[in-house]
Amino acid sequence: MTASYLHRFVEEDFHYWTGRVGQWFDPTGPAGNHLLEGRDLQLTMMNGIYVGITVEGTALYAGKVRRSDQGASDRFRNHPQPIEEWSSVWLLPFVADCSDPLVRHYEAALIRRHRPLWNCQHNRGRRRT
């Protein structure tokens, strides 16, 4: 039996992760699910994790936004993956003083748990039979 969260990211998962990151979650940031209209999404999240999904809630790609970037909007405009296939993006903003290694830790944990279809990190270290 497959876990219900595998390859999916829906509101229930968003709430799971806001609880898991605890004090690092920024409730004043642009948290939640945002519809994508091309690459012109105007979001000011400067530190956090995002998950691009389909209309059905299938997780396609999870990544991070760092303070060194120009924010989420710039990240999506210059994204290496074809974000046109995403219907929306979930944003999990972190407080400004959350370190890059900690953001990477939570990003990796989210990828391992949900296994978005376009991420390959969840296959590292697995023994193939």
Mean pLDDT of all residues in 74-103 = 86
Domain residue ranges of the chain, discontinuous segments joined by + = 11-120
Mean pLDDT of all residues in 60-83 = 77
Contact 57, 5 (CB under 8 A): no
**What's the CATH architecture for 11-120?**
3-Layer(aba) Sandwich (3.40)
The span from the CA of 39 to the CA of 116, in Å, is 20
The span from the CA of 58 to the CA of 91, in Å, is 15
pTM of the shown model: 0.85
Q: Is the pLDDT of residue 63 over 60?
A: yes
pLDDT of residue 53: 92
Contact 87, 55 (CB under 8 A): yes
pLDDT tier, 126 (very low <50, low <70, confident <90, very high otherwise): very low
Q: Indicate the pairing of strand 48-53 with strand 88-93.
A: antiparallel
Q: Is the pLDDT of residue 95 over 60?
A: yes
